[in-house]
Each structure stands twice: as structure tokens, then as C-alpha cells.
């Protein structure tokens, strides 16, 4: 584990539990009073991340509200799916979780990256179930062309016959260094915290990512951005979108990442450009992100 003197010390102690969701064990991190009258704000993490990485943002909140962060199937401490991963399963998993934790009323959703994308799709598919929505750079992936489908299917057929390579590291420190290389705005303590959230020590002394490496297999189903946009236009809940001023994420979307195109896709959303912030802003600058999110949650 990272050195004790360098480790991040949570201000709000998390609680961990696991429950069965659609046949898989799903790990949940909770903060705040579980007996509070209001349903928890649900925090949805991104790809290869885990729910407990929201700890730094949670610690920066002024209000001690109930919060719930699931690990998506195949990520963090949740079970791996034997048959692989299909994106719509995340919507069904979220639907099942909300049925359990807020069966009688709409919820507040906060999602980062993939989690923001799932939250936005869900808010358009089940608008009555979402009270408000904060999307932290979860604005989809680049538009796919049908021309690449034959090659995509060939690659997928080859991959499902093979054992996916698991990335491993000599130590948590080496994993933290890799994280810092990809996210240079992270200080050492925060990178070490992410390493402990993302990694698991094996019996051989190597550190491996908790995320199922099969997530890196190509998806045989092309991404249809127009389908996502149809869901986004159906969102009724108040929505806040945070974009990192130094993030490369929108540039990867090409023309779909231009502000005019995104404002057409999310016509009623409030937008905030966060200065000196990259894609992983809820860990890089959690105090600033919390100060932007919390007033929105209070109002809605």
C-alpha cells in the first residue's frame, strides 16, 4: 500500500456493503446518515474507476447528506460478469438500484465520464425517476461508422477466444506513478489514493487492476450517437454539465464535442467550464468541483 505518511485521510468515513443486483454481487460505498429521510444522492463512476474514488469530493461537501456510490459490474469490488459486458446492462443495474434505495421518489444523480453518460441516458429513458442530474464530462464517445463493422466483429470473435491480458504493476507506488503520468494534475497523495481504489494485491505480490480486463475487448455493437442524443433530448430534470477547461475529452469527439453541437443535444442544461481542470476533475480539484455541484443539489 502507499506510504502511511503520504496517504489521503478521509474526512467522512465511508461504509461498505454488497448486495445482489440482477444476479451479480455489487459493491456499494455509502456516506452520511443511512436513515435520512431523503434518498441518497447516487454517485456514478467512470470507466475503470470505482465508486470510492468520489471520497475526495465527498469530503469537500459542506453538507453531510446521504450519498451512495455503486461499483459498476466488472469494476471495483463488484462481481465480474461471466458472459461479458453490454452497455445497456448498466442502465438496468441502475434501475434496479434505484428501485431498492428510492422506490417512491426521484433521485439526484451525479455521474463522471461513463457514469455521466449512463446517468444522462437513464434520465431520458426514465425522466420521472430523476430529480436532477450532474454530468461531469459524460457526453458519449465518438460517432462510429458502419464501415468498420466487419473488422470490429472479426476482432471481437478473436478476442472472446483468448484470455484478456491483465495489466499488473510491481507495487501500488508503480500504479500511482502510472496514474500520475496520465493525470499530471494529481498530487502524490491523491494518486496513491486512486491506486488503492483501483488496484488489488495478488498472491504473487503484484498489483492488478480490480477492473475486469475484458472491458478492453472491442464492443461488437457500434455506438450510435444519434440514439444517445434521442435519449438526451427527452431529459426533463434540471441538469448541470461540468467540462474541464484543460481536458482533451471533448476534442476526441470531433465535431460532436463542439459546444454548439452539445448545446443542441442538451438544450436545457446549465454549463460550467472548470478552469485548470482535466477529465478527472472530481479527484484533481475536488474542492472546486464540490463547490459547483453542491449549490445545484441544494436548489433541486
| Per-residue pLDDT reduced to its tens digit, 189-243 | 999 999 999 999 999 999 999 999 999 888 888 888 999 999 999 999 999 999 9
pLDDT of residue 7 exceeding 80, the answer is: no
48 belongs to a structural domain? yes
238 and 128 in one domain? yes
pLDDT of the residue at 24 = 96
| 286 burial level (CB within 10 Å; 0-12, 13-18, 19+) | buried
| d(C-alpha 252, C-alpha 228), whole Å | 17
Task: Give the helix/strand (H/E) hosting 83.
Answer: none
Whether residues 79 and 125 fall in one domain: yes
pLDDT for 211 equals: 95
| 183 lies in the same domain as 242 | no
pLDDT digits (tens, 9 = 90+) for 129-159: 999 999 999 999 988 888 888 999 999 999 9
What pLDDT, on the 0 to 100 scale, is given for residue 28?
98
Angle at 73 between CA 185 and CA 198, to 5 degrees: 30
DSSP assignment string, 32-47: S-TT-SSPPEEEE--T
User: Which pLDDT does position 5 carry in this prediction?
Assistant: 42
Whether 186 is covered by a domain: the verdict is: yes
Domain boundary among 173, 194, 211: 211
- CATH assignment of the domain containing 99: 3.40.50.1820
Report pLDDT for 112.
Answer: 98
Per-residue confidence band for 2, with pLDDT thresholds at 50, 70 and 90: very low
Query: Which residue stretches of the chain are H helix?
Result: 55-60, 87-101, 114-125, 149-159, 172-182, 188-198, 225-232, 249-252, 259-265, 281-284, 286-299
- The answer as to whether 270 is a domain residue is yes
Domain that holds residue 270: 12-141+148-158+219-299
Number of domains in the chain: 2
Contact yes or no for 138/111 (Cβ under 8 A): yes
Which has more pLDDT, 5 or 277? Answer: 277
% pLDDT > 70, the chain: 98
7 occurs within a structural domain: no
Residue 4 pLDDT grade (very low, low, confident, very high; cuts 50, 70, 90): very low
To the nearest whole percent, how much of the chain has pLDDT over 90?
81
Helices 114-125, 225-232: inter-axial angle, 10-degree rounding: 60
Residue 1 lies in a domain: no
Do 153 and 283 lie in one domain? The reply is yes
Average pLDDT of span 63-78: 96
pLDDT confidence band for 3 (50 / 70 / 90): very low
Residues 27 and 134 in one domain: yes
Give domain status of residue 294, yes or no: yes
Amino acid at each position: 500500500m502507499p506510504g502511511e505518511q503520504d496517504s489521503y485521510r478521509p474526512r467522512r468515513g465511508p461504509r461498505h456493503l454488497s448486495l445482489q443486483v440482477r444476479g451479480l454481487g455489487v459493491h456499494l460505498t455509502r456516506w452520511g446518515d443511512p436513515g435520512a429521510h431523503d434518498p441518497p444522492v447516487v454517485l456514478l463512476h467512470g470507466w475503470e474507476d470505482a465508486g470510492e474514488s468520489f471520497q475526495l469530493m465527498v469530503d469537500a461537501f459542506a453538507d453531510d447528506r446521504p450519498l451512495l456510490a455503486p461499483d459498476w459490474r466488472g469494476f471495483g469490488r463488484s462481481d465480474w460478469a461471466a458472459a461479458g459486458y453490454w452497455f445497456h446492462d448498466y442502465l438496468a443495474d441502475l434501475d434496479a438500484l434505484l428501485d431498492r434505495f428510492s422506490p417512491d421518489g426521484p433521485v439526484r444523480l451525479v455521474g463522471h465520464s461513463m457514469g455521466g453518460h449512463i446517468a444522462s441516458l437513464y434520465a431520458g429513458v426514465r425522466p420521472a425517476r430523476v430529480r436532477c442530474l450532474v454530468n461531469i464530462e459524460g457526453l458519449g464517445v465518438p460517432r462510429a461508422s458502419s464501415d468498420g463493422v466487419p473488422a470490429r466483429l472479426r476482432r471481437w470473435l478473436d478476442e472472446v477466444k483468448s484470455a484478456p491480458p491483465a495489466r499488473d504493476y510491481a507495487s501500488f507506488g508503480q500504479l500511482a506513478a502510472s496514474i500520475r503520468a496520465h493525470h499530471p494534475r494529481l498530487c502524490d497523495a491523491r494518486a496513491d489514493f486512486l491506486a488503492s481504489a483501483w488496484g488489488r494485491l495478488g498472491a504473487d505480490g503484484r498489483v492488478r487492476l480490480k477492473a475486469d480486463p475484458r472491458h478492453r475487448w472491442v464492443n461488437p455493437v457500434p455506438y450510435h450517437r444519434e440514439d444517445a442524443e434521442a435519449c438526451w433530448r427527452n431529459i426533463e430534470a434540471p441538469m448541470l454539465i461540468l467540462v474541464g477547461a484543460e481536458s482533451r475529452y471533448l476534442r476526441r469527439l470531433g465535431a460532436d464535442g463542439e459546444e454548439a453541437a452539445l448545446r443542441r443535444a442538451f438544450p436545457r442544461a446549465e454549463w460550467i467550464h472548470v478552469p485548470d481542470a482535466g477529465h478527472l476533475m472530481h479527484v484533481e480539484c475536488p474542492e472546486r468541483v464540490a463547490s459547483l455541484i453542491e449549490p445545484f443539489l441544494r436548489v433541486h
